[in-house]
Amino acid sequence: MATVSRPVTQPLSEPTRATPNYLTATWGLKSWLFTVDHKRIGILYLISITIMFMIGSAAASMMRFELLTPQSDLLSPGAYNKTFTAHGTVMVFLFLVPSIPATLGNFFLPMMVGARDVAFPRLNLLSWYVYLLGSILVLYALFSGGVDTGWTFYTPLSTEYSVTRVLPTAVGVLIVGFSSILTGLNFIVTIHKMRAPGLGWFNMQLFLWSIYATSLIQVLATPVLAITLALVAIERVLRVGIFDPSLGGDPLLFQHMFWFYSHPAVYIMILPGMGVISELISTFTRRNIFGYKFVAVSSVAIAVYGFLVWGHHLFVAGQSVYAALVFSVLSFIVAIPSAIKVFNWTATLYKGSVSFNTPMLYALGFIGLFTVGGLTGLFLAALAVDVPLSDTYFVVAHFHYVMVGGMLLAFLGGLHYWWPKMTGKMYNEFLGRMSALIIFLGFNLTFFPQFIAGTLGMNRRYATYDPTYQVYNVLSTAGSTILALGFMLPVGYLTWSMLFGAKAGPNPWGSAGLEWQTQSPPPTENFDGTPIIRYEHPHTYTQKEQVLG
């Protein structure tokens, strides 16, 4: 039962000049557009979601500039409604939901289980094309008139009264949902059926646990979103009355069905980030994560439990008070597995051999910002407190802390961590650290004032506001420009590194992860043969490695 020491710096397969990697194995546009290599598909997704992020950010910038003044001067109220809808729809459905699973998950899941590819490679490629189709439809809708219902599509505004492009948006999002389902299905089956010999559930890397938990949610929740949006689309065309009170329908039914998906969706968005953080903390403290089993199981606990709390989005919608009480209690309890993770990460840092590389800066930022976001979520879970805070900027700040301060930071951390493996190049470390700091500072300046503004009563989704809130909005907009700068820097130096960066070895961080035991960039079949796993714990470092780093 002793832990076997591992020569982490030596790859399993010695790269020879003749070994092509997945980037150089074949050439040409067709070889990329018709690839079934999970790594290439991950890169295709990476390019797509980066474009989506830029579009969503552009919408956000317009919102922030409008909100510099209390009047609706830059954007009319109608245009502002379309802008925040575009921001939300693009960021949630086209960026955050696919982000880590479709890019880093696609790239590294098969490698971490020691497989040559996912279970269904062609389905994987289909996922990407379905994602593209849905995204194009959504973008077409947004640019050919826009949608003003908010990304939440509440009825009867969306089904009846809105004169904007609800139908193509709803259909586009529902199509993107299928992409999510197919990816989740692929990952679940891969983890169950294609683990290398000796790789049991409890010596899998924690990134795998979180991707698995995410996939469970994707597979169980997204179909309900699909059917809900289909009903909205049909309602737009047929005017049947399924959600129309004057015909006997109930708008709350829409909200129940919508949030049955959309609350678990926020766990789709955060769980992969948590998995990345586990990998980063473990590598850059040279330790196995403290309480590995707790962290692993808590991922699945979050996935399962997250399905029981959606009613907290309906507290002020007219839901039964009795049901609201139950959802409120459950929403408190769902914080526990997340807190378990935060405590375990922190405990890992204690007496670890910490190095402050760029990915680690993102990981540390995540822990702090996610904690703030999670705790403010508890404020909102308390029924009586939620009533005055509903639809204020407090809510906006809360979810941006978890989604941007949490998920986006984890995504950037993971991107920087695995960049050498994916591209075989190193980026400029100074610029990396600089950007991480700029993003951290810019982010807090953007969103912390929003907590205050929300508590004082500033409404969300309005182009105008009472002048007493202006100071907070000015601070927030100032922060957003710093944040934007922080996001643009990585685009620059990462792209630069692809062309001119220093060549990376197989394992520049000295990590114990299985994906590092092959060359950078990996060959098409990932490993030379099938690895056989003989270790007890996935993130294990010898004494010497811990000391020397």
- HSE of 412 in the Cβ direction (CA atoms, 13 Å)? 31
Cβ(85)–Cβ(94) under 8 Å? no
Q: How many CB atoms lie under 10 A from the CB of residue 488?
A: 13
Closest listed residue to residue 160, CA positions, set 101, 234, 239, 85: 239
Of 134, 249, 337, 420, which one interacts with another protein (CB under 8 A)? Answer: 249
Among 535, 542, 546, 549, binds another protein (CB under 8 A): 535
- Contact call for residue 320 and another protein (CB under 8 A): yes
Q: Which of 200, 384, 500, 543 binds another protein (CB under 8 A)?
A: 200
Alpha-carbon distance values, 482 to 54, 485, 500, 545 (Å)? 15, 5, 27, 38
- The answer to whether residue 523 forms part of the interface with another protein (CB under 8 A) is no
Q: Which of 35, 164, 222, 348 binds another protein (CB under 8 A)?
A: 222
3-state secondary structure 428-453: CHHHHHHHHHHHHHHHHHHHHHHHHH
Query: What is the nearest approach in angstroms of another protein to the Cβ of residue 487?
Result: 34
Query: 334: which DSSP letter?
Result: T
Question: Which of 22, 108, 154, 260 is the binder for another protein (CB under 8 A)?
Answer: 260
CA distance 328 to 383: 6
> Concatenated DSSP letters for 101-166?
IIIIIHHHHHHHHT-SS-S-HHHHHHHHHHHHHHHHHHHHHHHTT---STTTT-TTIIIII--SSH
13 touches another protein by CB under 8 A? yes
529 binds another protein (CB under 8 A): yes
Query: Is 503 an interacting residue with respect to another protein (CB under 8 A)?
Result: no
- Closer CB to another protein, 29 or 321, in the complex: 321
Q: How many CA atoms lie within 13 A of 133 on its CB side?
A: 14
| DSSP letter, residue 205 | -
Smallest gap, in angstroms, from Cβ of residue 230 to another protein? 8
**Distance from the Cα of residue 508 to its chain's centroid:** 25
* Residue labelled with tokens 């980066």: 50
| Region binding another protein by CB under 8 A among candidate stretches 57-65, 76-84, 313-321, 377-385 | 313-321
Residue 120 interacting with another protein (CB under 8 A): yes
224 vs 295, beta carbon nearer another protein: 224
**Min dist. Cβ of residue 219 to another protein (A):** 5
Residue 120 or 140: the one with the smaller Cβ distance to another protein is 120
3-state secondary structure of 340: helix
| Two structure tokens written together for 375 | 């705790």
Q: Give which of 89, 116, 529 is closest to 124, Cα–Cα.
A: 116
Distance CA 128, CA 139 (A): 16
8 A C-beta contact, residue 53 and residue 92: no
Q: Which of 140, 201, 379, 496 binds another protein (CB under 8 A)?
A: 201
Choose between 139 and 181: whose C-beta lies nearer to another protein: 181
- Least separation in angstroms between residue 536's CB and another protein is 5
Q: Is 195 in the site for another protein (CB under 8 A)?
A: yes
Q: Return phi, psi of residue 502, to 5°.
A: -70, 145
In terms of CB distance, is 115 or 504 closer to another protein? 115
Using CB under 8 A as the binding rule, whether residue 198 contacts another protein is answered as: yes
Candidates 85, 135, 228, 423: give the one binding another protein (CB under 8 A). 228
Name the minimum Å distance from CB 57 to another protein.
32
CB of 181 to another protein, least distance (A): 6
d(CA 521, CA 15): 10
Counting contacts by CB under 8 A, is residue 268 touching another protein? no
- Asked if 386 interacts with another protein (CB under 8 A), we say no
Q: Using the rule CB under 8 A, is 293 a contact of another protein?
A: no
What Cα–Cα distance (Å) separates residue 325 from each residue in 214, 247, 333, 339, 391? 27, 30, 13, 22, 19
Q: Footprint of another protein on residues 438-467 (CB under 8 A)?
A: none
Q: How far is the CB of 456 from another protein (least distance, A)?
A: 24
Structural contact between residues 90 and 59, judged by C-beta atoms closer than 8 angstroms: yes
224 belongs to the binding site for another protein (CB under 8 A)? yes
Out of 125, 257, 276, 396, the residue judged to bind another protein by CB under 8 A: 257
Query: Under the criterion CB under 8 A, does residue 506 sit at the interface with another protein?
Result: no
Segment contacting another protein by CB under 8 A, of 148-156, 410-418, 480-488, 521-529: 521-529
424 binds another protein (CB under 8 A): no
Q: Which of 41, 49, 221, 484 binds another protein (CB under 8 A)?
A: 221
Q: Does 414 participate in binding another protein (rule CB under 8 A)?
A: no
Is residue 321 a contact residue for another protein (CB under 8 A)?
yes
Quick check: 329 binds another protein (CB under 8 A)? no
Whether residue 211 contacts residue 249, with contact meaning beta carbons closer than 8 Å, is answered with no
Min dist. Cβ of residue 54 to another protein (A) = 31
What is the spatial distance between Cα 375 and Cα 380, in angstroms, rounded to a whole number?
A: 9
Residues 165-194 that bind another protein (CB under 8 A): 181, 185-186, 188-189, 192-194
Spacing of C-alpha 336 from chain mean position: 20
Number of C-beta neighbours around residue 309 at 10 A: 23
5 binds another protein (CB under 8 A): yes
Q: Which of 47, 136, 326, 491 binds another protein (CB under 8 A)?
A: 326
* Residue list 58-117, contact with another protein (CB under 8 A): 110, 114-117
Residues 6+ apart with CB under 8 A from 56: 86, 87, 90, 91, 94, 95
Shorter beta-carbon distance to another protein: residue 85 or 179:
179
Q: What is the CA radius of gyration of the chain?
A: 23
Please tell me whether residue 533 binds another protein under the rule CB under 8 A: yes
